[in-house]
Homo-oligomer: A and B are copies of this chain.
Amino acid sequence: MGLPYKLETSPEIFMQHFGDALIERVRALGTPLCVGLDPYLDRIPPLFRDGDMSPGNPLTAPAVEAFLKAVLDRAAGKTAVVKPQIAFFERMGWRGLRALEEVCSHARKLGMLVLLDAKRGDIGSTADAYAGAYLTDDAPLPADALTLNPYLGMDTLEPFFTTAKAHGRGLFILVKTSNPGSGDFQDLKIGNRSLAETVADTLNSQAEALTGGVTGWSSLGVVVGATYPGEAERIRQIMPRTIFLVPGYGAQGGSAAAAVNGFVKGPNGLEGGIVSSSRGILFPASGDTASAVDWEKAIDAAIDQAATELGEAVSV
């Protein structure tokens, strides 16, 4: 954890393949931690609060931006990737989206990959607009990867496959989500397989087509909740080269061991996934302090704890 952050992948290689870039960074750091950026407005610490923090206050979005940039400064060199959740920015309207652009830009300047959690999905021409908004070189809000919802079908994912390939970006498609009700539809049985497993199976040929030349991992990843380790194992059987984005660790109740259940043996331990933690890192109990030094210590400790715990879980 104490290692200075070092880019193992040159910018050129990064632009060519997201899966390789992500796994190389995770290997170098020794932890699959992904820092989630979910700025609950009512939990922004006193140090950064400006006014009442209501969504309609024009000062709210700049305060959120300052808070998250300060978190990113602490996270640099300790995490390969950060995951902003766009809903919390949309809650603030266009000022929120402008703040998100600044936050993403700041993270990339610090050498971290940006995985935008937006769970988009729409028919062809609309999907093109979403891909253009987040995954192209002229995107107003350029991210390195984007989360997607598969319900509409494979033709609605195609524009994202094409754009991801052309611009060296990554995709994480919802397969089995971490929430208690994820089984309502994802666990329904299609023959002897769940819908989630059927989605995984349908996606796998595209995942194979987007596999990188350096690490062997694909730029097409899937979301598999830490709260369902058994399903993670079954999905790993179906998708051997797909990176798992694992939410549900920490605040949602998934343990570190459960979170890495779909990981496989790599050169430096278990690999093939990233595990996101948001609330536990952004809002540690000791972070409600008016002292900048104390706040930094609290964030550092929260990041180090999650990074170390997950690092130990992949050490075998």
Interface residues of A (CB under 8 A from B): 38, 40, 54-56, 85, 87-88, 90-98, 101, 119-127, 129-130, 132-134, 138-141, 149-156, 174, 177-186, 188-190, 195, 198-199, 202, 247
A190 to B153, CA, bound (A): 17
Q: State whether A181 and B153 are in contact (beta carbons under 8 Å apart), knowing that A140-B56, A141-B93 are contacts in the complex.
A: yes
Given known A-B contacts A55-B132, A98-B94, A185-B150, A120 and B156 have beta carbons under 8 A apart = no
Find A120's partner among B54, B87, B129 (CB 8 Å cutoff). B87
Contact indicator A93/B85 (Cβ below 8 Å): no
On whether the beta carbons of B140 and A55 are closer than 8 Å, the reply is yes
Q: Contact check, A132 vs B91: say whether CB atoms are below 8 A apart.
A: yes
CA gap between A139 and B155 in the complex, in Å: 33
- C-alpha gap A139/B54 in the complex (Å): 10
Q: List, in ascending order, chain B residues with CB within 8 A of A140's CB.
A: 55-56, 91-96
Contacts of A129 in B (CB 8 A): 85, 87-88, 90-91
- Whether A97 pairs with B87 at a CB distance below 8 angstroms is no
Closest to A191 in B: B189
Contact of A151 among B91, B124, B132, B174 (CB under 8 A): B174
A221 to chain B, nearest CB (A): 17
A188 to B190, CA, bound (A): 7
In contact, A126 and B38 (Cβ under 8 angstroms): yes
Of A138, A180, A185, A199, chain B has the most CB atoms within 10 Å of the CB of: A185
> Inside 8 A of A195's CB, which chain B residues have their CB?
185, 188, 195
Closest to A193 in B: B188
CB-CB nearest in chain B for A99 = B94
**How near does chain B come to A62, taking the closest CB pair, in angstroms?**
13
Please state if A178 and B123 are interface contacts (CB–CB under 8 Å).
yes
Bound-complex Cα distance A285 to B199 (A)? 40
Q: Are B138 and A121 in contact (CB under 8 A)?
A: no
User: Which chain B residues border A94 with CB–CB below 8 Å?
Assistant: 94-95, 97-98, 101, 140
A179-B152 in contact given A93-B141, A119-B122 (Cβ < 8 Å):
yes
* 5 A-B pairs in the complex with CB atoms less than 8 angstroms apart: A94-B95, A121-B149, A150-B151, A153-B179, A154-B181
- Chain B residue at minimal CB-CB distance from A182: B153
Contacting pair A155 B180 (CB below 8 A): yes
**Chain B residue contacts of A138, Cβ below 8 A:** 54-56
* Smallest CB separation, A35 vs chain B (Å): 16
Kindly report which residue of chain B lies nearest to residue A141, judged by CB atoms.
B93
Residue of B nearest to A136 (CB): B55
Q: Which residues of the partner chain B approach A120 to less than 8 Å between Cβ atoms?
A: 87, 119
Contacting residues, chain B, for A96 (C-beta < 8 A)? 140
Given contacts A91-B133, A141-B93, A185-B153, contact A124 B179 (CB under 8 A): yes
